[in-house]
Chains A and B, each alone.
Chain A
Amino acid sequence: MTFGKWGKVAVAALGVAALSSAVFAQDKEALVKNRIDFMKGQAADNKAIGDYAKGMATKEAATKAINDLIDRSGKIVAMFPAGTSSTDMPGKSNAKAAIWTDHAKFVEIAKTLHDTAVAEADVIKTGTPEAVGAAQANLGKVGCGACHGPYREKLPG
């Protein structure tokens, strides 16, 4: 079997497409891993603030954590490009497809997390550790927990 000029072009194009697809798949896997690490960073911030509320960490540590959380919360939406759901990447991604089918709500919760974290920074600055504990519990509910219910797939345990 021989290929004409356009046949060779088509084969080359298919090869490039397959290579691009493989590279993109690798990119997506790296992106999802980075996203999971990013979320673990947020959890570490939450823990540091919670530890301060319980008298187990310094105010400086809590201040550093809330500033990091504010910064991260502004980046969340961009961490979820289309094509990286658990449907697209079963066993690797735990982001439900609902993030993209119900995107406005997802964006709204991310904004709530950001706004709540900004308000909590003031509580850490001027409030008691008990007040910080209450503010953090609220942030966990309206920010983190509000997103984890509808948008995070539980992976097999």
Chain B
Amino acid sequence: MTTDFGTFYPPNITPDKVHGIGSWTEAQFHRALRDGKGKDGEYLYPAFSYPAFTGMTDQDISDLWAYLKTVPPSAQPSKPHDLKFPFSFRPVLLGWQILFLHKGPLEPVAGKSAEWNRGRYLAEAVAHCGECHSPRNALGGIDDKHAYAGNPDGGDGQRAPNISSHPKGIGKMSEADLAELLNTGATPEGDYVGGGMALVVDGTAKLSAADRKAIAVYIKSVPAQESTQAKKPAPKKG
């Protein structure tokens, strides 16, 4: 993943004891998702979406750990990230975490329905929708005031669209339309999503219909936001 800070390469997370996470303990795995720290306590880069995963419940993190242990191990070494200084110096992430890591688990919001809270949990913590669909500030933190307003530089290198209730977002879609998109990838017009969202739909299609509807209920409740615009290139000097 190419960013303003350099290029991140996803590491091997299979149970291989040398190149994967086979030598990790469950507690270390919990700490990675909850606190953004690696096996030896080193700060992790938020290209790994722990700012979202921190919201998961202990039980769900344990379930995820149990599943990952069943994945076939791969002996492929992880490729080191290629980052610019000072971002290549992990301790600077302490400051980043102080500013942008809101440790979970995510607590239910009083006064909201169980379905809405379930949808919020799935969208914010598990499916981490906002990680791609929200704009980021100069330090790479999510701009919470404009959550879900889209990101010209989405995770798959393409524009992640506005999914707030703005007419240029998903304002014209019903909850049922959105639940259908999460199930089949189809838009109300008969178009189909591609790229990174197609991979997301591979996952959301496996959710229960009730969970897809809960996500739709929550996302549809996100206030309308103007779409995030792409950064204009700096004017040439001279």
Contacts and interface: CB of A to CB of B under 8 A. Distances in A.
Contacts of A46: 186, 190-192
Interface string A81-125: 000000000000000000000000000000000000000000000
A8 to B, nearest CB: 41
Nearest to A39: B191
Contacts, number: 77
B198 interface: yes
B224 to A, nearest CB: 14
Given A154-B158, A157-B227, A45 B185 contact: no
B191 A43 contact: yes
Interface residues of B, number: 28
Contacts of A140: 184-186, 192
A156 B161 CA distance: 9
B161 A137 contact: no
B185 A137 contact: yes
Contacts of B102: none
B159 A157 contact: yes
A97 to B, nearest CB: 14
Contacts of A154: 158-159, 161
A4 to B, nearest CB: 42
A144 B168 CA distance: 23
Interface string B153-184: 00010110110000010000000000000011
B194 interface: yes
A157 B151 CA distance: 10
B186 A148 contact: no
Contacts of B198: 141, 145-146, 148-149
Interface in A12-54: 40, 42-48, 50
B4 interface: no
- Interface residues of A toward B: which range? 20 to 34
Given A156-B159, A157-B227, A147 B186 contact: no
A136 interface: yes
A148 B159 contact: no
A136 B227 CA distance: 31
Nearest to B176: A54
A37 B189 CA distance: 13
24 contacts: A43-B190, A46-B186, A46-B192, A48-B190, A50-B190, A133-B184, A137-B183, A137-B185, A137-B205, A140-B192, A141-B192, A141-B201, A144-B194, A145-B185, A146-B194, A148-B193, A149-B156, A149-B194, A149-B196, A152-B194, A154-B161, A156-B229, A157-B150, A157-B161
Q: Return the 3 tightest CB-CB contacts between A and B, nearest first.
A: A148-B194, A47-B190, A149-B194
Given A141-B184, A149-B195, 9 more contacts: A42-B190, A43-B187, A45-B190, A137-B205, A144-B192, A145-B194, A145-B198, A157-B150, A157-B168
Interface of B: 150, 152, 156, 158-159, 161-162, 168, 183-196, 198, 201, 205, 227, 229-230
